[in-house]
Amino acid sequence: MPVLVMKFGGTSVANIDRIRRAAKRVGVEVAKGYDVIVIVSAMAGKTNEMVGWVGEISPLYDAREYDAVVSSGENVTAGLMALVLQEMDVPARSWQGWQVPVKTTSAHSSARIEEIPTDNIMQKFGEGMKVAVVAGFQGISPEGRLTTLGRGGSDTTAVAFAAAFGAERCDIYTDVDGVYTTDPRISSNARKLDRIAFEEMLELASLGAKVLQTRSVELAMRYNVKLRVLSSFEEMDDNAGTLVCAEEDIMESKVVNGIAYSRDEAKMTLISVADRPGIAAAIFGPLAEAGVNVDMIIQNIAEEGRTDMTFSCPVDQVLRAEKALNAAKESGAINFHDLVADKNVAKVSAVGIGMRSQSGVAAKMFKTLSDEGINIKVIATSEIKISVLIDRKYMELAVQALHDAFELEKA
């Protein structure tokens, strides 16, 4: 039998009624002849509640016990989903990560999947089981301890299972009905995309779009897993949602396919740094060791052997970055006159695989922002992306203006 993977997010399994609704969707796919692997998240709000409990006990908690606590939400949902399916006369059972087993690294709270053996579940399919309900977001380390994959990890679990089992498709059910050209809450002209390339989705996810976890898109692209993002609250339709697929599966793509944004950014500038070989490594090495996620990097023109170095990072990592850089200065590894942090910036990005073969995108983007009186602080580009840092108060205006300028409301 062909295998289909279906993943249901927290809002889709928030209560028993919603679990029943999700189970009916699973039953429809079983009736079509699929062996189904269902990946479930914890009920909406439960993981946050458990994270709060752990933090209340100690901010310096044991990450192994943190994983033991927060992974339990998915176990509850998996058992409830299996029970509902059994009441529908669909042969189903639940699986926790260690029972599969989902083998991961030992990096507690941010583990990576290393292997998913298929023998156990395939044996049960052969014995007549039609649905394996697997607790997402979790696995087991080489030491035999429970691990979790980081927030949004159930998406990654679903894609990894689809790759391991050679699934025909991986359906991600959430509270939105697909991937949009931008956030519909900001632009009323936002349009749902029928298809989007892996690379575009990866850029959108990494730039702030919350539809899919970045690691899940990376896995899907690496193993060519077709992803479909759709709402668990809409009527079932074979053409529903957005298909995330290889570029060659898309007939023709627009030059720009989406406008993404990240509200919580910060711009940090090291003023008057020595302009010498190795200075970049001396700066960004300590930041990496401190776990600071650096994005855009700009080095100014040197004057009299000194230069300024600017980079962006999430605003909640500013204190960590300041601590790491000041420690490096005290140790003599680097020397700078001042460290300035601007916590009132946002990142806005235009994304599209069509940029590879079309010129003028940057010019159009910059002129559009200029016409709106929006000053650009930092620019970064890739083959299919242009990102700018701007004052946060202009973020929504920038998103709306760029969405209109590139006519993304048109199919």
Q: How far apart are CA 267 and CA 346, in angstroms?
A: 9
Under DSSP, is residue 169 helix (H, G, I), strand (E, B) or coil? Answer: strand
Which residues, 6+ apart, have CB-to-CB distance to 222 below 8 Å?
163
- According to the annotation, is 211 in a ligand binding site? yes
The verdict on whether residue 285 carries a ligand-binding annotation is no
Q: Binding site annotation covers 373?
A: no
Residue-wise pLDDT for 215-274, tens only, equals 899 999 999 999 999 988 877 776 788 999 888 877 667 889 999 999 989 999 999 998
Token pair listed for 102: 């989902």
52 is in an annotated binding site: no
Q: Was 360 annotated as part of a binding site?
A: no
Domains in the chain with CATH codes: 3-175 (3.40.1160.10), 259-405 (3.30.2130.10)
185 is an annotated ligand-binding site residue: yes
Number of alpha carbons in the 13 Å side-chain half-sphere of residue 77: 34
Distance in Å from the first CA to the final CA of the chain? 37
For each of the chain's 411 residues, which pLDDT tens digit applies? 899 999 999 999 999 999 999 999 999 999 999 999 999 999 999 999 999 999 999 888 899 999 999 999 999 999 999 999 999 999 999 999 999 999 999 999 989 999 999 999 999 999 999 999 999 999 999 999 999 998 889 999 999 999 999 999 999 998 888 889 998 889 989 998 989 999 999 888 877 666 788 889 999 999 999 999 998 887 777 678 899 988 887 766 788 999 999 998 999 999 999 888 999 999 999 999 998 999 899 888 777 789 999 999 999 899 999 999 999 999 989 999 999 999 999 999 999 988 887 888 999 999 999 999 999 999 998 889 999 999 999 999 999 999 999 999 987
Q: Which residue is it, tokens 């083959």? A: 383
Would you say 47 is a known binding-site residue? yes
- Report whether 10 belongs to an annotated binding site: yes
Q: Is residue 74 part of an annotated ligand binding site?
A: yes
336 is in an annotated binding site: no
DSSP-derived 3-state class of residue 192: strand
Is 152 marked as a binding-site residue? no
Q: What is the pLDDT of residue 252?
A: 66
pLDDT tens string 137-162: 999 999 999 999 988 899 999 999 99
Q: Structure pTM?
A: 0.81
Closest CA relative to residue 70, chosen from 154, 11, 155, 160: 154
Please name the helix (run of DSSP H) or strand (run of DSSP E) that holds residue 122, with its range, or none.
helix 119-126
Consult the annotation and say whether 174 binds a ligand.
yes
